[in-house]
Amino acid sequence: MGRENQTIGVVGAGAMGAGIAQVAAQAGCAVVLTDSSSAALDRSEAQLKKIVARLIEKGRMTTEEGDNLCGRIQRSTRFSDLANCDLVIEAIVENLEVKQSVFREVEAVVRPDAVLASNTSSLSITGIAAALERPERFIGLHFFNPAPLMPLVEVIPALQTQIDLPVRCVEWMKDWGKDPVIARDTPGFIVNRVARPYYGEALRILEEGIADVPTIDAAMKEQGFRMGPFELMDLIGNDVNYAVTESVFHAFYQDPRYRPSLVQKRHVEAGWLGRKSGRGYYNHDSSSVAPSPSEDQFLRAQVAERILCMLMNEAIDAVFMNIATPKDIERAMTRGVNYPKGLLQWTNDWGPDKAYGLLENLRERYQEDRYRPSPLLRAHAIARQPIAIGD
């Protein structure tokens, strides 16, 4: 089916839902954007008009193209308007019961051959699918914020998903100009699993008093990351980041590698959520002066190595546990969260024995299973062989 003949439904007119609707409309699809709140729909329309106006002003879009883009999106408070959609993507609150309830309502009105998808970042795709009469047509399509700009989409089949649907969705997303990767339905999928140490180990280093917030951020930016972990948590929102961490931690049966931080919990309790609240790990008041990092280069190098070896171990363990192919794991981290280099290639550049040695030293120092090396990392370290990534 040509994309000009496709009708795409999006449930939820928040930042992610509105962004996904824009992506589909830019690909030439007719879009039905639904939300229970007419105010949210109005905000999404106003925001899209501002985006289109900027694109026209910069010469990236003609006025006619902008009008056509806006005209392809119908807004509604009624699920019944999703009846003729080929694909419906849900982008609402991260709550399993709420998502299940919404999909029951959506399934009751869409065509039998319509594909249903969730944009969840951490909930079980299989668990959401279990609420459906026809779970075989359900899949995860996890976009990254902002959806119109970030190329990655994680495609996550449920246990019940029809066998050919993931490949169909990969082609669908490519047709929309996205860079899709297929991930197993495990907590956090690829990105939110592999990225946990970027936040978690940074928080642990802060808790121990080894380095302060600006020094940790400076250490990671020196490695090529666009934002330090605390700058990024302030951008994401501490409430959102903490909720994902808790979700992954509990989904992995309290594995200490994913343990949430009390420092972050206290920030959430205080309402210090980051940029959106005006204060997080930094004070975002316009008159405030950002604190300076330590100039101790040895300290910065230690901080960076500790966080990086944990990230590398997580990426290698995702390969070991067949979460995705090595190539897709590399693409997910570089295309989804803009890592300066794929973590598997970074491990090879270091030499697997270096990452393994750092982890073993940490495990000996703390006597915690948090720092256990992946069996695959250990095997490559002993053999002194690089990890195969593929073309």
Burial (CB count <10 Å: 0-12, 13-18, 19+), residue 283: middle
Q: What is the pLDDT of residues 93-112, one digit of tens each?
A: 989 999 999 999 999 999 99
- Residue 276 in this model has a pLDDT that exceeds 50: yes
The amino acid sitting at 26 is Q
Res 136: pLDDT: 98
Sorted by where each starts, the structural domains of the chain and their CATH numbers stand as 3-182 (3.40.50.720), 193-383 (1.10.1040.50)
User: What's at 135, amino acid-wise?
Assistant: P
User: What confidence score (pLDDT) does residue 290 get?
Assistant: 82
Mean pLDDT of 347-366: 98
So what's the pLDDT on residue 203? 98
Report the share of the chain in percent with pLDDT over 90. Answer: 94
Contact 218, 296 (CB under 8 A): no
Confidence category of residue 79, pLDDT binned at 50, 70, 90: very high
Q: Is the pLDDT at 28 greater than 60, yes or no?
A: yes
Average per-residue pLDDT for the chain: 95
Q: At what angle do helices 213-221 and 297-320 cross, to 10 degrees?
A: 70
β-strand pairing of 152-157 with 138-143: antiparallel
Residue 5 has pLDDT above 80, yes or no: no
Label residue 3 by pLDDT band (50, 70, 90). low
Q: What count of Cα atoms within 13 Å lies in the side-chain half-sphere of residue 384?
A: 0
pLDDT tops 80 at residue 266: yes
350-354 contacts: CB < 8 A, separation 24 or more? 350/312, 351/384, 352/377, 352/380, 352/381, 352/384, 352/385, 352/386, 352/387, 353/381, 353/382, 353/384, 354/309
CB 146 within 8 A of CB 120: no
Indicate the pTM of the whole model.
0.93
Please give the positions annotated as active site.
142
The residue-averaged pLDDT of 24-30 equals 96
Asked whether the predicted pLDDT for residue 2 surpasses 60, the reply is no
**How far is the C-alpha of 104 from the C-alpha of 140, rounded, in Å?**
16
Quick one: pLDDT at residue 288?
81
